Structure 1
Amino acid sequence: MPPRRIPTVRQRRLGSELRRLREAVGVTTHEAATLLGVNRTRIPNIESGRFGLSADRVRALASNYGCQDAVLIDALANMAADRGPRWWDSYRGVLPTSFQDVAEFEHHAVAMRIFVMVHIPGLLQTAAHARAVFEASLVALPAKEIELRATHRMRRQEIFTLRESPPHFTAIVHEAALRMQFGGPEVGRAQLAHLLDASERDNITLRALPFSAGGFAGPGQPICYAHGPVAQLDTVQLDTFHGALFLDSQEDLGSYKRLLDRMEEAALSPGATRDLIHSIAKQL
């Protein structure tokens, strides 16, 4: 199997978890390769996500590292076994890599909690709003690419409609994002109506952080905390100027979980949030 040119975020995560298991028991990469019966360069390439491996080999590595957590081992084996092509693969080489990484990240999340300051969460945007956001990009984009990006964003929302068990999605949206008029008043009203409809779904919780809440902790950048099938596979995704950034250290996970907890404590209840959205829509 040739090495991957650009591993996906999920492939890199599998590798990093295997590295954590190895390092936790003080096994070197050379020792790990000997135990697995492979070339000494294979383990570093597996841990970087550049080389794939079967579910059986994941289990063999976990056994070699003395891991007794059957639930974690099953989750890692499932990550290795999940090799089928997905819809976002058709966008590779067409849109930035981070677009595919975010789609893959969301597809496998069990639940997500997100905070946004300026933009409506992509998973809750209308197509018209998404196009307006991309049209406002710092670097002017061709009309064809704007449409591709908007279509990709709409397909991401299929996790709510096509998945057998849709993820629970909690969105903490600052009032500033609710008042931003990307695309003008008509697009803005339609977007707010879409949010109200989405907030009625059983698996979506929408809570506004009003201006009246005052200041809050954190840098104000979009944050998404995604729960994996086991707690060890939770991941934080940050939106940055250079694309999506993924964090998975226990320290980072704990910090962002506490930050989102504080934001949620300051946010309006779902009912009060809907009242605020109705009020803003009447002002457009």
Structure 2
Amino acid sequence: MPPRSAPTARQRRLGAELRKLRERAGLTSVVAATQLGVTQSRLSAIEGGRYGVSGERVRTFALHYGCSDEALIDALAAMTVGRQRRWWDEYRDVLPADMLDLAELEHHATAIRTTQVSHLPGLLQTIDYARCIFRQHVPKLPAPLLEYRTSLRIKRQQIFLGPHPTPYQAVIHEAALRMRFGGAKVTRAQLTHINEMSEHDHITVRVVPFAAGDFPGSGQTVLYAEGPVPQLDTVQLDTEHGCELLDAEAELVNYRTSMDRFNGLALSPADSREFVHQIIKTL
């Protein structure tokens, strides 16, 4: 099996978690490779996500590294399951890899939380609103790429379909609700869509009004994807250069704390729906 030339974020994450286990065991890559019966270069490729391993191989690694956390080991082994072609792979030759990594992250998440200050959550956007957002891209996107990005964003919402939809909580600042991307008509339809989606049992939408005053963080869009075990949680940030994925324990703790504080400022789900309804009436 040749090394992967462009491993996905999920494949890199598995390798990084195996490296963490080795480092916690106090083993150098040279010693670990000898114990595992592989070359140091092969071990490096595995830890970089460039070379795949089986679930049994992961369990062998964990045994040599003295890891006794069965839940974590099971979760890591599950990440090795042969990667089937997914719906987002059809975009692989036309869109940036980090956009596809986000779709994969959401697909595998056990629950998702997000905080939004200037834009409405991508997983709750209408087609018209999403298209308008992508029209603001600098440099301007060619029409085909704009449509590809819009299509990907809408298809990501598949996590809400089926018998086991992903639990989702969005805390949205009033500023984002007041932004009229696409004009009054598009905004009205978008806010109505959010209220309708918030009626589903698995979707919670809460609003932080201007009256709440100060709020934690810098107003950055944050998505927190829970993994099968807390060690595999991931934070996704939107930046001017694409999305950034964070998984260091200290970073996860800081973002959980910040999001909890932001959530504490929000109205109840019922009051939030009424708040959004009142904004709709002004459009």
Bin for the TM-score computed over the shorter chain: over 0.9
CA RMSD of aligned residues (A): 1.0
Greater Cα shift, 129-138 or 256-265? 129-138
Q: Which residue of 2 aligns with 1:157?
A: 157
Give the secondary-structure state (helix, strand or coil) at the position aligned to 2:83: coil
Q: Which residue of 2 aligns with 1:188?
A: 187
Shift of residue 165 of structure 1? Answer: 2.1
Shift of residue 93 of structure 1? Answer: 2.2
CA distance, structure 1, for counterparts of residue 10 and residue 124 of structure 2: 23
The letter of the residue matching 2:104 is E
Structure 2, unmatched stretches of 5+, are none
CA distance, structure 2, for counterparts of residue 73 and residue 166 of structure 1: 25
Q: Which residue of 2 aligns with 1:26?
A: 26
- Aligned runs of 1:91-130 on 2, under 5 Å? 91-130=91-130
Shift of residue 28 of structure 1? Answer: 1.3
Give the secondary-structure state (helix, strand or coil) at the position aligned to 1:41: helix
The letter of the residue matching 2:61 is L
- Aligned runs of 1:128-277 on 2, under 5 Å? 128-162=128-162, 164-277=163-276
CA distance, structure 1, for counterparts of residue 246 and residue 266 of structure 2: 25
CA distance, structure 1, for counterparts of residue 142 and residue 122 of structure 2: 20
Structure 1, unmatched stretches of 5+, are none
Shift of residue 118 of structure 1? Answer: 0.9
Question: After TM superposition, what 4+ stretches of structure 1 lie above 6 angstroms from structure 2?
Answer: none
CA distance, structure 2, for counterparts of residue 35 and residue 84 of structure 1: 31
Shift of residue 183 of structure 1? Answer: 1.1
CA distance, structure 2, for counterparts of residue 82 and residue 274 of structure 1: 42
Normalised by the length of structure 2, the TM-score is: 0.98
Give the secondary-structure state (helix, strand or coil) at the position aligned to 2:245: strand
CA distance, structure 2, for counterparts of residue 35 and residue 175 of structure 1: 56
Identify if the C-alpha distance between structure 1 residues 172 and 82 changes in structure 2 by more than 3 Å, giving closer, same or farther. farther
Q: Which residue of 1 aligns with 2:64?
A: 64
Greater Cα shift, 29-38 or 171-180? 29-38
The letter of the residue matching 1:93 is D
Q: Which residue of 2 aligns with 1:74?
A: 74
Give the secondary-structure state (helix, strand or coil) at the position aligned to 2:103: helix
Normalised by the length of structure 1, the TM-score is: 0.97
* 2:7 counterpart of 1:7: yes
Shift of residue 143 of structure 1? Answer: 1.2
CA distance, structure 1, for counterparts of residue 219 and residue 185 of structure 2: 27
Task: Give CA deviations for 1:47-89 in whole Å, capped at 9, x if unaligned.
Answer: 1111111111111101111111111111000001141111111
CA distance, structure 2, for counterparts of residue 225 and residue 168 of structure 1: 12
Give the secondary-structure state (helix, strand or coil) at the position aligned to 1:80: coil
The letter of the residue matching 1:68 is S
CA distance, structure 1, for counterparts of residue 31 and residue 206 of structure 2: 50
Identity %: 53
Residues paired across the two proteins, number: 283
Shift of residue 32 of structure 1? Answer: 1.7
The letter of the residue matching 1:260 is M
Task: Give CA deviations for 1:99-124 in whole Å, capped at 9, x if unaligned.
Answer: 10100110010011100111111000
Q: Which residue of 2 aligns with 1:83?
A: 83
The letter of the residue matching 1:150 is T
The letter of the residue matching 1:15 is G
CA distance, structure 2, for counterparts of residue 166 and residue 121 of structure 1: 17
